[in-house]
Amino acid sequence: MQRKDGMRSDNAPKRWFMGSDFTRHVAQAITQYGPISRTALSQILGLSQGALSRITSDLIYAGVIEEINDSTHGPGRLPRDFTPKERAERRGRPRTSMRLRAEERSFVGVSVHDTDVSVIVVDALCHELTSCHTESLVSTEPQAVIAQIAGIVNRVAASVTPSPVLVGVGIGAHTREGVDVTYAPFLHWDDTVHVSAMLEEACGIPTVIANDLNTLLVYENWFGAGIGLPRFALLTIGVGVGYALSEHGHPVDDPDNSYGLIGHVLVDNHGPRCFAGHEGCAQCLTTASLAQEYSTILGQAVGFDDFAHDARAGTPQAQTLINRTCFRLGTLIATAQNFALPHTILISGEISFLARLNTESIRSGIRSFRPSQAAPVKFTILDFSWTYWAKAAAGHAIAQYIG
C-alpha cells in the first residue's frame, strides 16, 4: 500500500526522504535552528541562495518542511557566534522562515536502564506527545525484555496520531551498527542480541538502537544544550562514569566508546580504591563507591540512597563527601577540557544532582588542574530524569530519520 508521500506503509523506511547529503544537512539545520530564514541558512551551510532554494523546494514538496511568516512563530536557536549578514528586507515584503513539519511524524523513545524500561512518544522536534511510561523489567532474559518493551510500545503508540514511524532504543550497553546489543552486563547479556530485528517484529515499527550516552549526545546536538556548538563533551556520573565528545554536530565515534573508557582516569591521589585496584580513579564518582565511602565516614554500612537522602538534607557528614565528590568531578572536567578542548562540558547521569550541591568545589577541582592563564571552563549540569533519557533515545532516532 502506498501513502500519499510515496512511502510504503507496510515496510516503512528508516528515513523521511530520499536526497543527497546536502539535502540532509539542510533538513538537519532547519530541525536544529528553525524557524530560520533562507538567508541565515545559506550563510550557516555555505550554500548559494540558488542551491539552497532548489533543496528547500524539494523538502517542501516531500512534506518535510514548510515556509511560514516570521510573525507567527518565534525565532529558533542559531549557532553560537553566528552573525547574520541579512540585508534589510524590502518594505511591504513579509519575512519568511523555514520550519520542520514536526507534527507530521511521531517517534518512540525507549530507555532501558537498571531494572526498568521507560517509553515516551515525541514529534519530529522531540516534543513530548505522551507522558513517560516506566515499568520494572519482569525478567532480564532477552525474549522477555523485548516482549515487555513491545507491549509498552504498542500500548503507547496506539494512543498517538500520526502513528510512530521509528523506535529509538537507548541502553547502557555495547551496541553494533545501530541494530544489535553485543554486551550488556547489567542485563547479564554476554552474547549478541538482535534487539532491532526482534523489537521490529514484535511491534511492527522499524527500530534503531544505540548506547544511551550516544543517544544523549545526539539529542543535545539536535534539540538541547549542544545546538550550534562546534565541539562539546558530555560527562555522566551514576552507576558508571561516561564520556562522549561531539565535533561539528556529530559524535566522535569509536567502537570502544561504550566500554566506559574514562572510568578509571585518576581524579584523587587520596581517593578510595576501586575494584581494579586503582586509588582515586573516576570510579569514586559512582553510586557503589560513594555508598562505600559514606559507610566508612559514618562507621556503619549504608546504601547510596541513604547518602542521597543525607546529601539533600545537608547533614555535615554528607556535606564532607559532597565536597570531595564535587572537587573530584572538577578534576575530571579539567582533564576532559585539557585533552579535548571542548566549548562546553555537559554533566548528566543519575547522580548529577550532587554536582548542583557544590559548584564551587567543582570550580576548585577544575582550577587545580588548569593553568591560571587559561580561560575558565564552561560546564552545564543538565536536568536528569529517565524521561529525559527516553526522549534522548527518540531524538537519536529522529536524527537517523532526517540526518
How far is Cα 352 from Cα 267, in angstroms, rounded to an integer? 17
Element (H, E) at 134: strand 133-136
Q: Which is nearer to Zn ion, 38 or 264 (CB)?
A: 264
Min separation Cβ 340 and Zn ion, Å? 21
Please state the closest distance from residue 284 (CB atom) to Zn ion, in A.
9
Which range binds Zn ion by CB under 5 A, 4-12, 114-122, 142-150, 256-264? 256-264
Integer CA distances (angstroms), 388 to 122, 126, 372, 393, 395, in order: 11, 10, 36, 9, 10
Closer CB to Zn ion, residue 281 or residue 333? 281
Identity of the residue, 211 or 283, whose beta carbon is nearer to Zn ion in the bound complex: 283
CB of 253 to Zn ion, least distance (A): 25
Region of 237-245, 246-254, 263-271, 348-356 interacting with Zn ion (CB under 5 A): 263-271
Q: What's the min distance (Å) between Cβ of 24 and Zn ion?
A: 41
Stretch that binds Zn ion, among 132-140, 228-236, 244-252, 261-269 (CB under 5 A): 261-269
| 181 or 281: CB nearest Zn ion | 281
User: Which residue from 14, 15, 38, 264 is in contact with Zn ion, where contact means CB under 5 A?
Assistant: 264
Query: Taking CB under 5 A as the rule, does residue 343 contact Zn ion?
Result: no
C-alpha cell at 395: 531524538
Whichever of 14 and 264 has its CB closer to Zn ion, that residue is: 264
Q: Report in angstroms how near the CB of residue 214 gets to Zn ion at its nearest.
A: 23
Q: Of 31 and 287, which CB lies nearer to Zn ion in the complex structure?
A: 287
CB-nearer residue toward Zn ion: 43 or 283: 283
d(CA 60, CA 65): 5
Cell of 292: 562505600
Tally Cβ neighbours within 10 Å of residue 145: 24
- Rounded CA-CA distance 283/271 in Å is 10
Q: How far is the CB of 327 from Zn ion (least distance, A)?
A: 18
Phi (first) and psi of residue 291, to 5 degrees: -60, -40
User: Could you say which DSSP state residue 367 is in?
Assistant: H
Least distance (Å) from Zn ion to the CB of residue 262?
11
Q: Which stretch binds Zn ion (CB under 5 A): 41-49, 113-121, 268-276, 331-339?
A: 268-276
Separation of alpha carbons 192 and 273, rounded Å: 32
Collect all residues with Cβ–Cβ distance below 8 Å to 136 and sequence separation of at least 6.
Answer: 115, 116
Q: Residue 231 has which C-alpha cell? A: 565541539
Nearer to Zn ion, 89 or 279 (CB): 279
x/- mask, Zn ion, residues 270-299, rule CB under 5 A, reads ----x-x-x--x-x----------------
CA 137 and chain centroid, separation: 23
Distance between CA atoms of residues 28 and 30, nearest Å: 5
The distance of closest approach from Cβ of residue 278 to Zn ion in the complex, given in angstroms and rounded to an integer, is 3
| 249/263 with CB nearer Zn ion | 263
- To Zn ion, the closest distance from the beta carbon of 54 in angstroms equals 54
Number of residues that bind Zn ion (CB under 5 A): 6
Spatial separation of the C-alpha atoms in residues 209 and 232, rounded to whole Å: 23
SS3 for 92? coil
174-202 core/surface letters (b: 16 or more CB in 10 A; e: else): bbeebbbbbbbeebebeeebbbbebbbeb
Binding region for Zn ion (CB under 5 A): 264, 274, 276, 278, 281, 283
